[in-house]
C-alpha cells in the first residue's frame, strides 16, 4: 500500500510514535501549525470517514478518546485544544488516510 500514513503506522517510515495500541497510532505532524500538533490515525487504511459507509462509530470514538488522552499528556487539556478531521477536497484533506489533528499550545483563530 503506497500510503505515507500506513508506512508510518507499520514502521516503514520512521517517525516519533507518541502513542500506539492495537488499532491506533499517533505521531507529530511534519509541518506543525501549533506548538502541539499531533496526528491520530487508525492502523487500518480507510481513505475518508464513512467511505466506504459502515459502522465507524467505534473507530472514530477511539481516535477522539486517544486524542483527548494525548492532550492531557501534552499538558494542553486545561488550556484547551482543537481537534480537526478534514474530509475530501473541500474539507482540505490532503492525505487519503483518516486522521484527526490535535492542535494546541496557542490560541486558535475563529473558524472560517
Ligand atoms: P490533511 O490536510 O490531509 O488533513 O492533513 C495532512 C497532514 O499530514 C498535514 O498537516 C501534513 O503536514 C501532514 N503530513 C503529510 N505528510 C506527512 C509525513 O510524511 N509525516 C508526517 N508526520 N506528517 C505528514
Ligand atoms: Zn494508509
Question: Which CATH number belongs to the domain containing residue 64 in this structure?
Answer: 3.30.428.10
Residue 112 lies in a domain: no
Residue 109 lies in a domain: no
Over residues 10-22, mean pLDDT: 97
> In this structure, what C-alpha cell is assigned to residue 46?
480507510
Probe target for ligand 1 pocket from 3, 12, 30, 98, with the most ligand atoms within 8 Å of CB: 30
Residue 68 lies in a domain: yes
The gap from C-alpha 20 to its chain's centroid, in whole angstroms, comes to 12
Q: Whose CA is nearest to atom 17 of ligand 1?
A: 30
Residue 53 lies in a domain: yes
Specify the number of domains making up the chain. 1
Domain residues for the domain of 13 are 4-104
Q: Whose CA is nearest to atom 24 of ligand 1?
A: 30
pLDDT at 49: 86
pLDDT at 53: 63
Residues assigned a catalytic role: 99
pLDDT at 52: 63
Confidence bin at 57 (pLDDT 50/70/90): confident
Taking the model in full, what pTM does it have?
Answer: 0.96
**Closest listed residue to residue 42, CA positions, set 112, 97, 109:** 97
Q: Give the nearest ligand 1 atom to 31 CA.
A: 12
Left, alpha or beta for 105 (phi > 0: left; psi -120 to 50: alpha)?
Answer: left
Confidence check: pLDDT of 50 > 80 = no
Tell me how far apart the alpha carbons of residues 10 and 12 are, in angstroms, rounded to a whole number: 6
- Given a contact cutoff of 8 angstroms between Cβ atoms, the answer to whether 5 and 27 are in contact is no
Over residues 47-70, mean pLDDT: 88
Amino acid at each position: 500500500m503506497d500510503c505515507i500514513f500506513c508506512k508510518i503506522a507499520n514502521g516503514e517510515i520512521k517517525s516519533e510514535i507518541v502513542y500506539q495500541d492495537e488499532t491506533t497510532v499517533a505521531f507529530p505532524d511534519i509541518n506543525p501549525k501549533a506548538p502541539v500538533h499531533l496526528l491520530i490515525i487508525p492502523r487500518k487504511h480507510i481513505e475518508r470517514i464513512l467511505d466506504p459507509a459502515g459502522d465507524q462509530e467505534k473507530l472514530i470514538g477511539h481516535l477522539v478518546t486517544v486524542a483527548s488522552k494525548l492532550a492531557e499528556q501534552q499538558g494542553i487539556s486545561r488550556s484547551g485544544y482543537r481537534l480537526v478531521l478534514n474530509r475530501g477536497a473541500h474539507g482540505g484533506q490532503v492525505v487519503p488516510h483518516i486522521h484527526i489533528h490535535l492542535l494546541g499550545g496557542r490560541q486558535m483563530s475563529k473558524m472560517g
